Amino acid sequence: MFLIVQNDPLCPAGGLLHLLKESGSPYRCLAAYAGEPLPDPASCTGIVVLGGEMGVHDTADHPHLALVIDFIRAALTTRTPLLGICLGGQLLSHAAGGVVSSPSPHREMGICRVDVIAEGSSDPLFAGIPNPFVTFQLHSDSFTVPPGGTLLASSGACPAQAFRLPGCVYGVQFHPEVDRAIVDAWDGLFSPRADYLSGFIAAETEFNAASRAILANFISLATGARLS
């Protein structure tokens, strides 16, 4: 079973759910923000930790984050395949000894291009991905690659876009899971209302091709790791 850990009600799994259904992989969405208990990570085929408006260090206001950090550390111990997206990637970096800056000078909003560096070009997470690839960003914080990790992707605005830890464990700063409905909802978080949706729609074909491939690659890698 794939476990999707949702940290924020406005940050759902989006297109990831369609890919899991297409692959025939059983999955469960867990609302960590609502206090749903986290399982033993060893029982999971793979784990995806989603984003959120809050930051890694906001545990006083969002106490579920401390539980998610402990859960990620347990997943690293059990070597359970894991993908952290945006806040999820920041939580992974923090749990593994990296540094999360809040706020960060590496802020990005809307459609961006990300470069896959040499180490990423040979990594199966980015197999079949254009270089650079089009993705969507919405972050004011950023992570460093934690000790023992390998940088896989970067951008001019944000030097650490993706990293790998030993085993099938990845953190990414960008959002491969979003769709029109999610971006539209996020536009409404700003006052006055933002308009990242129009840029997303204009780049949607390129975005979907790269994002679906990245997520499908992780599903395949996690499934293979658990079967080996």
Active site (catalytic) residues = 86, 175, 177
For the record, the structure tokens of 86 come out as 């945006």
Q: How far is C-alpha 196 from the chain's CA centre?
A: 19
The closest of 3, 35, 59, 51 to 186, measured between CA atoms, is 51
Dihedral in degrees, nearest 10, Cα atoms 220, 136, 5, 77 = 60
Give me the DSSP letters along 139-150.
Answer: ES-EEPPPTT-E
| Gap between the Cα atoms of 24 and 122, Å rounded | 27
Would you state the structure tokens that stand for residue 156, as one six-digit string?
Answer: 């001019």
Neighbours of 156 (CB within 10 A): 11
Q: Which residue has the tokens 């799994």?
A: 13
β partners of residue 4: 29, 48
Q: What is the spatial distance between Cα 47 and Cα 28, in angstroms, rounded to a whole number?
A: 10
Angle between helices 87-95 and 64-78 (to 10 degrees): 60
d(CA 159, CA 43): 34
Joined tokens for residue 198? 């129009």
